[in-house]
Amino acid sequence: MIGIVIVSHSPKVAQGTAELAQEMSQERVKIVAAGGVDDETIGTNAERILAALQEAETEDGVLVLLDLGSAVMSTQVAIEMLPEEKRDKVTISEAPLVEGAIVASVEASLGRSLEEVNNAAVEARNMEKLT
């Protein structure tokens, strides 16, 4: 079963999204938040993301869901800090953060592969809400 890391500029958004996703997975999936520069400061922090990647690490890989901008760069830096053989097991998702995290956590809880979970999470952006 894959692990999931949630990266946001806001520590509260990351934490809240991780909690929501965890509720969806019924505690079956390892979901770790890595938001903010620290618990109080808006921004992103490669070392915090690295720690989250290590905590969420599984044999089946880790999917990173993030908001935007420097979250991508900081995550790429964090992945570079991993031992080489572990870098291939981390995928940064193009999915929208909250919707993607909800879908990814359910799909991950079913034991689906990193690629399958990521594909479903990316598709979440096309989910209609108002019709």
What are the residues binding another protein (CB under 8 A)?
23-26, 102-103, 105-107, 109-110, 120, 123-124, 127-128, 131
If the CB atoms of residues 46 and 120 are measured against another protein, the closer one turns out to be 120
If the CB atoms of residues 20 and 82 are measured against another protein, the closer one turns out to be 20
Min separation Cβ 4 and another protein, Å: 14
- Cα-trace Rg, the chain: 13
Min separation Cβ 30 and another protein, Å: 16
Please tell me which residue in 5, 7, 8, 9 is annotated as part of the active site: 9
CA distance 120 to 103: 7
End-to-end, the C-alpha distance of the chain in Å comes to: 34
- 63 as an active site residue: the answer is no
Given CA atoms 102, 25, 119, 88 in this order, what sign does their dihedral have?
positive
Angle at the Cα of 8 (from 15 to 119), degrees rounded to 5? 95
Q: Which residues are catalytic?
A: 9
